[in-house]
Chain A
Amino acid sequence: MSTTVTPPPTQNQSGSSRFTSAAANYIDERTKIGVAVKEFGRKVFPDHWSFLLGEVALYSFVVILLSGTFLTLFFQASMAEVFYTGPYVPMKGVEMSVAMASTLDISFSVRGGLLMRHVHHWAALLFVASIGLHMLRIFFTGAFRKPRELNWVIGFVLFVLAMAEGFTGYSLPDDVLSGNGLRIIDGIIKAVPVVGTWMSFLFFGGEFPGTDIVGRLYMLHIMLLPAMVILFVALHLAFVVIHKHTQYPGPGKTQQNVVGFPVLPVYAAKAGGFFFIVFGVIMLIASFVGINPIWNYGPYDPSPVSAGTQPDWYIGFADGMLRLIPPGWETEWFGYTWSWNMLVPIIVMVGFLIVVAIYPFIEAWVTGDKREHHILDRPRNAPTRTAIGAAGVTFYAVMWAGASSDIMATHFQLAMEGVIHTLQALLFLAPIIAYQIAKRTCLALQKKDRSIALHGYESGRIVRMPGGEFIEVHKPVTDYERWELVSYHDYEPMMLRPNDDGRIPFGKRLRAGMSRWFFENRIVPPTHRRN
């Protein structure tokens, strides 16, 4: 059957709008694009600065793709040996891998090459940092709750993929700094029981360093990992569209609506403009600040090493964890070597990451709340979650600080042993302290909110009563202001009841215990009954 859609009459339209309608018609007849335009053209997105952090990550990824494509035109991922014949004097005549030589050529002999290397590497640092900041925002506002638990896991996978991309990327120039990083990875792999030696052998194509690793990392870096990142980003964004974006509590905002601006034209202008702003800031930094000067490190050789050998910041937590292990953690049982100084960091870090990945499911189990949540929590209104987050961030930060122990020693004129011992203690103490401070701060802020909702703001006006006493006049809040203060969720600790067999299973006990931990101390939102 062929029903052709007749195009609308064009006699009364101006030239440009006639062209536009003809073009739109042509495309729609072949792609059904009208459906997309109708569905998404006026889709509403709420407006808050913290909602742009995910966009920072997305846009820096686009910048990485663009600058990376340029670099692939000139980089050669081969470990064959060659003598450098380019213009940089301290490398002239030095024997090095083709990978290193081509990176030097990009830096010194290709116009705009050094700029693109800078853009690529700075954008990569920004990519992982903005993912981290975005994850923190999601965590502290409870945006991972139903229906978004899967999106949290997808985002977590993206975080790990981004770290992997960064690591494979900075190891490509085959310089002394990243080469020693690969050596460390080799040592960690070898420490894995039973299969470690063979895993290392397979990874490097033989003994370390071998002649295969740069080529293999290149494949991962430009093909497999970007494909996975793009796939997971597409899934991530698809879910944002399906679930619609969350919004902060406020007057007029409910669980059943989204209040904000439509994609066309406002959001397109703001978000589209923001892409250029992120790109521009990266370009600004790349124009003036150097990064990864591989010509200082020289070609990889198992012999030299630089004082101040650290990985890129997002691998810092792993390097720091290795540094904080005390001496002697290795045993020889049953004739085999068990390297606890490697296994413990691996277990701790993987454990930490697993807890981060499954946190939404843990919290859902504790609260038992199966409703959809589209209104975000202000962090103060989820004190235990916020405190757990603060403790987690602190734990990560102490591990990260461990990676710069020698640099802290030189810059603050301390002994490195003192720095390391302090960080070892802080690894346990600091999260506990951070937890307590965050929890108490949240509860205090909630109390303040409650008092403002019930009694109003201190207006600063002091009035003397006829009886002689002084009072400060409190200005009552408007309904609009009050809504944000009182509209949060309140949970009670779960009550333990025996099941039909008259017993309380361990799982229930655990759940009730955690529920008590989460919700024992809580500030109840005031209601009309003024309790």
Chain B
Amino acid sequence: MAEAAKYNGSEGAVVPAEGHGAVAPAAGTAVIATDAVQNPGLPPHRKRVTDLDPKVEKRAERTVYTLFYVSIAGSLGAVLAYMFFPIESGDLWDIRLHTMFVGVGMTLSLLAVGIGAVHWGKAIMADHESIDERHPVPSDSATRAEAVEVFTLANEESGFSRRSLVRNSLIGALIAFPLPGITLLRGLAPQDQDPVTLLKHTMWEEGIRLARDTGGYGVGGAIRAADVTIGSVFHVVPENLSQATNLLDEKAKAVVLLMRLEPEKLKERDERKGWSYDGIVAYSKVCTHVGCPVALYEQHTHHLLCPCHQSQFDVTDEAKVIFGPAKRPLPQLPITVDDEGYLVAQSDFQEPVGPSFWERLK
């Protein structure tokens, strides 16, 4: 701060800021020219056409009150449209017309009064420029002195700065008192469940059949291996999904994509060779990026595309990431066929599905 003061004073400044009796604030690195051009003052006032010609002023006045009457008409029109464009038939055209006419009525009522008021202000009301004086923002020195006096007295009378034990313990108490309130917020989550354990398990178990996802809370029929033709994709949920108590929560982890490729196209490591069945593979549908459904399957390129952030996974190569912000491949559901030819899971996923979290590897 002292640095700046010795660099530039404010004498001769074009735009000095005054404090009432206080030292003018430092101008920092501002260059104050002593020979700067001076403010020429307000330019001469230019009269409007409504000031000069009384006929034009009358016309402006007529415009203003006509607009106000149009606004009244618009408001009434909106009320009438509300009454005379019923929507109870449920027909979409009725709803469209109702929305449009009530809306147009209200638009008219609003725009007309707004434009009328502005026109009145611009063209008819006196438009000579008014000038207010500014006062510096800081309070004047007398007020400041009194304020300092107030705090000094309060300090003396209470002994706030002198009595350090009293002061410090008060501060401690004030810091401590919100803690129980914050603790109550723990109740936002269930007390008896551990999120890490929950995230590691899905509904899939050995022997659970793969069933069609029919949307929402529905579960379709179980899927035979023979139903899955090359190039097809099935959207799958566990057959016993309806038995879940938190159905959507379980579905959010258990959704699976089922695809069939020519077996020679699949590059599987040895430990996973038993996870597919004759070229039929099942992968978690939950994106390992932030959890959107990775639902787009391209049957020739064997790419899975997530529409949210464009992560791409290669189904021929254990669904590893080939583009986009994801990192981990989609978890694979080990599947096989039961003795009736239906596809079943061999076990749960061998890793947590969905987005990464801190304790994922624990």
The answer to whether A and B touch directly, with their CB atoms under 8 angstroms apart, is: yes
Contact B325 A327 (CB under 8 A): yes
Query: In the assembly, what is the distance between CA of A50 and CA of B125, in Å?
Result: 22
Contact A284 B326 (CB under 8 A): no
Interface residues of A in 318-335 (CB under 8 A from B): 319, 322-330, 332, 335
| Total chain A interface residues with beta-carbon distance under 8 A | 148
Contact B40 A306 (CB under 8 A): no
B207 CB-CB contact with A under 8 Å:
no
Contact B290 A269 (CB under 8 A): no
Known: A184-B292, A299-B216. A208 touches B118 (CB 8 A): no
A residues within 8 A CB of B86? 111
Query: In the assembly, what is the distance between CA of A489 and CA of B110, in Å?
Result: 43
Contact A259 B42 (CB under 8 A): yes
Known: A87-B90, A187-B291, A305-B307. A265 touches B121 (CB 8 A): yes
Interface residues of B in 33-53 (CB under 8 A from A): 33, 35-37, 39-43
Interface residues of B in 112-170 (CB under 8 A from A): 113-122, 125-127, 129-134, 136-137
Query: In the assembly, what is the distance between CA of A192 and CA of B354, in Å?
Result: 15
Query: In the assembly, what is the distance between CA of A157 and CA of B357, in Å?
Result: 30
A312 CB-CB contact with B under 8 Å:
no
A residues within 8 A CB of B324? 323, 327, 420
Nearest CB on B from A62, distance (A): 12
Contact A273 B356 (CB under 8 A): no
Contact partner of A188 among B116, B119, B255, B290, CB < 8 A? B290
Contact B99 A274 (CB under 8 A): no
Contact B290 A342 (CB under 8 A): yes
Known: A259-B131, A483-B40. A184 touches B290 (CB 8 A): yes
A residues within 8 A CB of B62? none
A368 CB-CB contact with B under 8 Å:
yes
Interface string of B205-217 (1 = CB under 8 A from A): 0000000010111
Query: In the assembly, what is the distance between CA of A526 and CA of B291, in Å?
Result: 61
Contact A266 B103 (CB under 8 A): no
Contact A281 B290 (CB under 8 A): no
Report how many A-B pairs have Cβ atoms within 8 Å: 402
Contact B25 A372 (CB under 8 A): yes
Contact B30 A301 (CB under 8 A): no
| Total chain B interface residues with beta-carbon distance under 8 A | 121
A509 CB-CB contact with B under 8 Å:
no
Query: In the assembly, what is the distance between CA of A514 and CA of B190, in Å?
Result: 52
B residues within 8 A CB of A180? 292-293, 308
Interface residues of A in 263-286 (CB under 8 A from B): 265-270, 272-281, 283-284, 286
Contact B188 A202 (CB under 8 A): yes
Interface residues of A in 82-135 (CB under 8 A from B): 86-88, 94-96, 107-109, 111-112, 114-115, 118
Query: In the assembly, what is the distance between CA of A287 and CA of B26, in Å?
Result: 55
Query: In the assembly, what is the distance between CA of A497 and CA of B102, in Å?
Result: 71
Query: In the assembly, what is the distance between CA of A129 and CA of B120, in Å?
Result: 29
Contact B31 A491 (CB under 8 A): yes
> Which 6 A-B pairs give the minimum distances between C-beta atoms?
A87-B90, A368-B28, A187-B290, A287-B103, A276-B114, A252-B42
User: Which residues in B have some Cβ–Cβ distance to A below 8 Å?
Assistant: 3-4, 7, 10, 14-18, 24-31, 33, 35-37, 39-43, 82, 86-91, 95, 98-100, 102-104, 106-108, 110-111, 113-122, 125-127, 129-134, 136-137, 185-186, 188-190, 193, 195-196, 198-199, 213, 215-218, 235, 237, 246, 248-249, 251-253, 255, 285-286, 289-293, 295-296, 307-311, 321-328, 354-362
